[in-house]
Structure 1
Amino acid sequence: MGKAKAVRITGARSSLTEDVRGRQRRYMISMAVRTVCVILAVVLWQESRIAAIIALVGGTVIPYFAVLFANAGREGAPTMPETFVGYQPPPALGPGGNAPAEES
């Protein structure tokens, strides 16, 4: 039998510490990619100018998006989960209607 998927039962956001840590991690990763782009631009300049220019453009544009995403703010509150997860049995009673009149 497979592992059951955990269901989040609260509408609370993640903690502020987790949010800041996640934004810092994304920023640091994007700056590492930028550093690689700049190094590639320097190394490839004599070999392939087109690849070096593409890497240089990447190293120039990435910081803009890194700052933009790092300062985007906290995520929205998650939506509440469905009440029933998985199989939902049909209702026990059908729709209401006129009951037949009893004869006396």
Structure 2
Amino acid sequence: MRKQSGGEAFRITGARQGLSADVRGRQRRYVISMAVRTVAVVLTAVLWNIERPVAIAMLVLGIALPYIAVVIANAGRENAPSLPSTFVAPPTRPMLNAGHTEPVPEPRGTDASDARSDRS
């Protein structure tokens, strides 16, 4: 067995995901948001003469969503704030107090009946 030095230990859960996984995730978010935009534009055309306020809301969503999707997709690689810290603190050993003594328990087998029999 190998003895460990007193150095710091690394947590693997604190590591960022790989670059390919990060790019794949950003591409997926962008494709999903563009699919939502496509649905919004189609709904704008379908609902224009039926439900004009809903059609206008879909039109605004269809216009604003590409900008929002690009900003989200290009946000880059950042550490998630919920991840634990990278280093694990070494465990501390409790110190013994020199002046503290525990009370000595009474020996077993002594009870009130034994004390009465000694007096008689």
Same fold (TM over 0.5): yes
Q: Which amino acid aligns with 2:99?
A: A
Asked if 1:42 corresponds to 2:79, the answer is: no
Contact (CA 8 Å) 2:33, 2:69: kept in 1 or not? yes
Report the secondary structure of 2:84's partner residue: coil
Percent identity, aligned pairs only?
52
2:22 is matched with: 19
Contact (CA 8 Å) 2:44, 2:55: kept in 1 or not? yes
Off by >6 Å, runs of 4+ in structure 1: none
1:52 is matched with: 55
TM-fit CA distance, 1:99: 1.0
Asked if 1:99 corresponds to 2:104, the answer is: no
Unaligned runs of 5+ in 1: 1-8, 84-91
- Output the CA distance in 2 between the equivalents of 1:39 and 1:47: 13
Contact (CA 8 Å) 2:15, 2:86: kept in 1 or not? no
Unaligned runs of 5+ in 2: 1-10, 101-120
- Output the CA distance in 1 between the equivalents of 2:52 and 2:79: 44
TM-fit CA distance, 1:36: 0.2
- Output the CA distance in 1 between the equivalents of 2:98 and 2:17: 52
2:36 is aligned, of 33, 38, 41, to: 33
Per-residue CA deviation, residues 51-88 of structure 1 (Å, 9 max, x unaligned), is: 100000010111111000000001216433896xxxxx
- Output the CA distance in 1 between the equivalents of 2:87 and 2:18: 23
Q: Which amino acid aligns with 1:51?
A: V
2:76 is matched with: 73
